[in-house]
Amino acid sequence: MLDFTVIRATLAEAYDLAPSLTLAQEMADIHARMDRVVPLPDFARYAPYIRAINRLKAEKNAVILAHNYMTPEIYHGVADVVGDSLQLAIEATKVEAETIVQCGVHFMAETSKILNPAKRVLIPDVTAGCSLAESITAEGIAEMRAKYPGAPVVSYVNTTAEVKAASDICCTSSNAAQIVAALPEDTIIMTPDQYLAQNVARDVPQKNVVWWAGSCIVHEQYTAEDLRGFRAGHPETRIIAHPECPPSVVAEADYSGSTSGIIDYVAREKPAQAMLVTECSMASNIADAYPEVEFMGPCNMCPYMKKITLEKILWALHAGAEEVVVDPAIAAKARVAVERMIELSRTIAK
């Protein structure tokens, strides 16, 4: 449990963290990547933390892997690598630094540890969970296998190491359909995201896809009715949805893809107006790169992703905490499922 009284007092003694407009102006190159969404007075509060974190990373031979849902000051200020879940897993296999600081949720940090057992993996807030990862256990996988004998289990990376270890192969939102299509069996068990599975079932009609009833608390909140209402008022806006949304929502969208797929779509199409049907930081993180695009409409915040802050990242590097530990026997089995996914993704991409 993080004790903020101790953390703040310790950090204030070790680093100059007072808000500074002068420092913010000196760091104008970093601010320029987010000035459409982060006003200068806010950046003046972040700048001392960004400076301290970037210095500590170098001193401690650490690298920061950050998911696309991190806030702009993390995404543009301190991350060494940003990406979707698949990209972060692939990048984790290439890390040379001694320490990985995972800015994302716990299953992402576990995935980095599984792929890099010899490295120290830190997560700035160990309680950053995920409603999908919490929805299934290894017993749930055994239940599904008993119900559908002989069917392979494809588990979303949004799962614990134990669940990965009990699965045949992992997938992410960017490769789920291709992985399901590439497996030789007719019936495929997908866990734990029922909506991702239903979206895959629509795209891969030759397979009998069966699923576990988990869902993402961020994406399940969108409804087709909301999107239709929005489109009626804004017919020119491109609606871009993550595949963790229910299929009825994806059906209303102009495009559906992983978080990096969404960024690539905006980069390619440069629509005058876009509504990203996903986590709120997505639009904020790309707002400066695409000034010609007006990002419209509501978004939903992931309370787990938002647990990661600059203050906690600085503490993680300063104190070497929280270290992610995965039982080596479980990690070895989970690695097989994750590496199978990475390998199959590479083959499919060729």
**Least distance between ligand 13P and beta carbon 85 (Å):** 3
Q: Which of 173, 191, 256, 284 binds ligand 13P (CB under 6 A)?
A: 173
Q: How far is CA 239 from CA 202, 249, 278, in A?
A: 19, 10, 11
Task: Determine if 84 is a binding residue for ligand 13P (CB under 6 A).
Answer: yes
Structure tokens at 122: 């830190």
Whether a cis peptide bond, with omega within 30° of 0, leads into 322 is yes
Closest to ligand SF4 by CB, 229 or 298: 298
At its nearest, how many Å lie between ligand 13P and the CB of residue 86?
A: 6
Q: Restricting to residues 196-255, name those near ligand 13P by CB under 6 A.
A: 216, 244
Minimal distance in Å, beta carbon 258 to ligand 13P? Answer: 3
3-state secondary structure 120-187: EEECCCCCCCCCCHHHCCHHHHHHHHHHCCCCCEEEECCCCHHHHHCCCEEECCCCHHHHHHHCCCCE
Contacts with ligand SF4, residue ranges (CB under 6 A): 105, 130-132, 158, 216-218, 244, 279, 302, 304-305
Nearer to ligand SF4, 52 or 253 (CB): 253
Nearer to ligand SF4, 151 or 341 (CB): 341
Decide if residue 258 touches ligand 13P (CB under 6 A): yes
Long-range own/partner contacts, residues 246-249 (CB < 8 A, 24 or more apart): 246/195, 246/198, 246/219, 246/220, 246/222, 247/195, 247/198, 247/199, 247/202, 248/223, 248/224, 249/219, 249/222, 249/223, 249/224, 249/277
Separation of alpha carbons 82 and 272, rounded Å = 25
Which residue, 100 or 216, has its beta carbon nearer to ligand 13P? 216
Of these, 172, 175, 194, 215, which contacts ligand 13P (CB under 6 A)?
172
Tokens of 190: 């997908």
Tokens 């009825």 map to which residue? Answer: 248
Residue 131 interacting partner from ligand 13P, ligand SF4, none (CB closer than 5 to 8 Å by kind) = ligand SF4
**Interface segment toward ligand 13P; rule CB under 6 A; list 28-36, 83-91, 117-125, 336-344:** 83-91
Check if the beta carbon of residue 113 is closer than 8 Å to that of residue 326. yes
Our CB check for ligand SF4 shows the closer of 23 and 217 to be: 217
174-194 as b/e: b if 16+ CB within 10 A? bbbbbbbeebeeeebbbbbbb
Residue 255, classed as helix, strand or coil, is strand
At a CB cut-off of 8 Å and minimum separation 6, what does 33 contact?
72, 76, 288, 289
CA–CA separation, 209 and 201 (whole Å) = 6
Task: Give me the least distance between CB of 347 and ligand SF4, in Å please.
Answer: 26
Interacting residues with ligand 13P between 309 and 348 (CB under 6 A) = none
C-beta of 285: minimal distance to ligand 13P in Å?
Answer: 12
From ligand 13P, ligand SF4, none, interface partner of 173 (C-beta below 5 to 8 A by class): ligand 13P
According to CB under 6 A, which one of 99, 131, 158, 199 is a site residue for ligand 13P?
158
Query: Least distance from C-beta 172 to ligand 13P, angstroms?
Result: 4
Nearest-angstrom CA–CA distance, 296 and 226: 13
Q: Which stretch binds ligand 13P (CB under 6 A): 20-28, 91-99, 166-174, 322-330?
A: 166-174
Would you say 30 or 136 has its CB closer to ligand SF4? 136
3-state helix, strand, coil in the chain (%, to 5): 50, 15, 35
* Contact flag: residue 85 with ligand 13P (CB under 6 A): yes
Binding site for ligand 13P (CB under 6 A): 68, 84-86, 105, 130, 158, 172-174, 216, 244, 258-259
